[in-house]
Amino acid sequence: MCGIAGFFNISSDNSPGQNDLERMIYPVAHRGPDGYGFYVGNEAGLAHARLSIIDLEGGWQPIHNEDKSLWVIFNGEIFNYRELRKELEAKGHRFYTNSDTEVIVHLYEENREECLSRLNGQFAIALYDVREKALILARDRMGIRPLFYVQHEGLFYFASEIKSLFAANSSLPREMNLEVLREVFTLWMPGGTETIFKGVHQLEAGHWARISVNKGFVSKEYWDIPFGIGVSGEFHKEADYAEKLRELLIDSVRLRLRADVPVGAYLSGGLDSSTITSLIHHYTDNPLKTFSVTFSDRVYDEQAQQKEMVDFLATDHHVEHCTYEKIGESFPDVIWHTEMPILRTAPAPLYLLSSLVRKNHYKVVLTGEGADEILGGYDIFKEAKIRAFIKKDLTSSIRPMLLKRLYPYLALSPTKSAEFAKIFFNTDASIDDLFYAHMPRWKTTGGTSVFFAEKLKRANVHHVVDKLISRFSHKLVGLDYFSRAQYLEAKLLLGNYLLSSQGDRMAMAHSVEGRFPFLDHRLVEFACTIPPNMKMKVLNEKNILKKAMDNLLPKSIVKRKKQPYMAPDILSFFGGKEPEYLNYYLSPQMVKEAGFFNPRAVEQLLSKCRKKVRQGFRENMAFVGILSTQIVYEKFVKNFRIDMPNRLDNIKIIS
């Protein structure tokens, strides 16, 4: 894992150089604190901040091919690099390192952009083709590793994080995108390639792009989550699907343990992380050190389940205990790393947890993200299934009672009353609506608009849905409602929030690499062949995964109803000592200056929170969203600053 940054000169008379690259890479030094590598060519410049995990001595980047006509920098891991290297050496390619990175340049020589389909990994790649005067960017299939870009005054800049782009050129506009901000306050995250900053984009998951002097910017999708490919003819019984899933998971875990440094695992006490740790224990000889978060607030705490798994597997376990004060204190730093507003504090405990991992001298952890999206684990899928069942007989007074089975872990659940739940979940909506499963959630989140200033209200919420229709309709048409819901969760919530604000950014803030066995593309493709009624059998979520792990986990863990990972929101700021920074970020003057929210409404919300710290959905999302937006505005628009040292240490200039 690393940080990457660089530029490509499309048409500018003033091409950047070494000093510009240093300014770009330094802001992401947390991603790669082990040293910096640079290359400057005629059209392009490449910068790399290294987190050494494979080939600790020789794996410095940028890396080139034999005649130095191709140069690459790379953030991530290629897990099948050993197998690919043998194949490439047999074809006559000569390697000068033992790193996984070098595989990329030689594989590109063989297959150009098609080489991406051969990579099993998580990556953001930048490859400079000297002969063709072109820059090729690529991002892994599921969007695990980030890659942002912007074009300005004839120059194309790219980087692992947006702060590197802003550091590259002081004349680059830093203005927040109101339409994307409205998307965040509806969907929880941006819905497409645009970011919260105007002009700054992210390369989509499963895409590559080519930038050249003659053709400019061209992007193409090379892979997408294959829902709708049809049920595999190879399997018919649940037991067969479970056996194949377990086999793929074991191989995925083994591959993701490849490293020249120790590898640990996150252990939340839920089914997904317990699955990963159990497979490490039973099928590898990797020493098992685990890490988890506990909470002083029992509503969010899973300490008992974590202890059960620790005892079951005899792991060397380490705990980050989160109080309200710890979450509140860390929040501004969390937003510096998310680089976008968020509606929940859930990333903050993971930020604290990665610090614990690093203090224990670990650089790599395996985690359980992705299982819910691809194997049918979320309550939003259960909710859609119940709504569809009610829709078949709207006159029934019994069927709506099933809604009470939803969200039992929420203190203020909308399912307390069956009649209210029918209205809340819009049970008479058409099942053919492309966003059938998601509309109740988006409607609830959209209720935060009561706090908006006029200019944000004008960013019409209907445009958010229209953009999603434009982006996804051709992907969703023909899918059943369950598969549509899974696809959207994977592309939106997983790709643009869980793997970003809650995943990559929180781990890399402390130089820790997360690896995700459930997101091995072979496993994802297989999961798409499992019939929806087997993934969620009646209302039993992740049915096939439970069957796959039945003899490898305690029965209580397998049978336990899912409790999503959450953290206290408003309570984190008012349940203990109130952070002093609230009076700055949420002052009427600062709120008015930023211009996104109604100062009077924000003032009333603050007063309400101080009087009663336990609030409803809307207030919790609104408060965290408003505060995080104000922090983004202050840190990135009003007072963006990077304090560069006079010189960077541990530099390698490669030519």
User: Do residue 445 and residue 463 come from a single domain?
Assistant: yes
Residue 50 in any domain: the answer is yes
Residue 133 in any domain: the answer is yes
Cβ pair 306, 267 in contact under 8 A: yes
pLDDT of residue 412: 53
Which residues is 50 bridged to in the sheet?
2
User: Do residue 534 and residue 633 come from a single domain?
Assistant: no
CB atoms within 10 A of CB 612: 10
User: Do residue 418 and residue 534 come from a single domain?
Assistant: yes
Average pLDDT for 560-570: 89
User: Do residue 441 and residue 534 come from a single domain?
Assistant: yes
Per-residue pLDDT band at 231 (split at 50, 70, 90): low
For the cut 80, the answer to whether the pLDDT of residue 350 exceeds it is yes
Between CA 589 and CA 409 the distance in angstroms is 38
Note the pLDDT tens digit of each residue in 598-655.
999 999 999 999 988 778 889 999 999 999 999 999 999 999 999 998 888 888 787 6
Q: What is the CATH number of the domain that holds 482?
A: 3.40.50.620
Number of domains in the chain: 3
Task: With residue 183 as reference, give the H or E element that holds it.
Answer: helix 178-187
Task: With residue 317 as reference, give the H or E element that holds it.
Answer: strand 316-322
Cis omega before residue 62 (within 30°)? yes
Apex CA 381: angle with CA 447 and CA 494, to 5°? 75
User: Which residues, 6+ apart, have CB-to-CB distance to 146 below 8 Å?
Assistant: 124, 139, 160, 161, 202, 500, 504, 505
Cβ pair 644, 29 in contact under 8 A: no
CB atoms within 10 A of CB 562: 16
pLDDT of residue 421: 58
Domain containing 618 equals 571-638
Cβ pair 507, 350 in contact under 8 A: yes
For the cut 90, the answer to whether the pLDDT of residue 542 exceeds it is yes
Residue 61 in any domain: the answer is yes
Residue 560: DSSP 8-state: S
Domain boundary among 223, 258, 291: 223
Residue 653 in any domain: the answer is no
Note the pLDDT tens digit of each residue in 441-458.
898 898 899 999 998 988
Going across the sheet that includes 216-221, the strands are 63-64, 70-78, 121-129, 134-139, 207-212, 216-221
User: Do residue 36 and residue 166 come from a single domain?
Assistant: yes
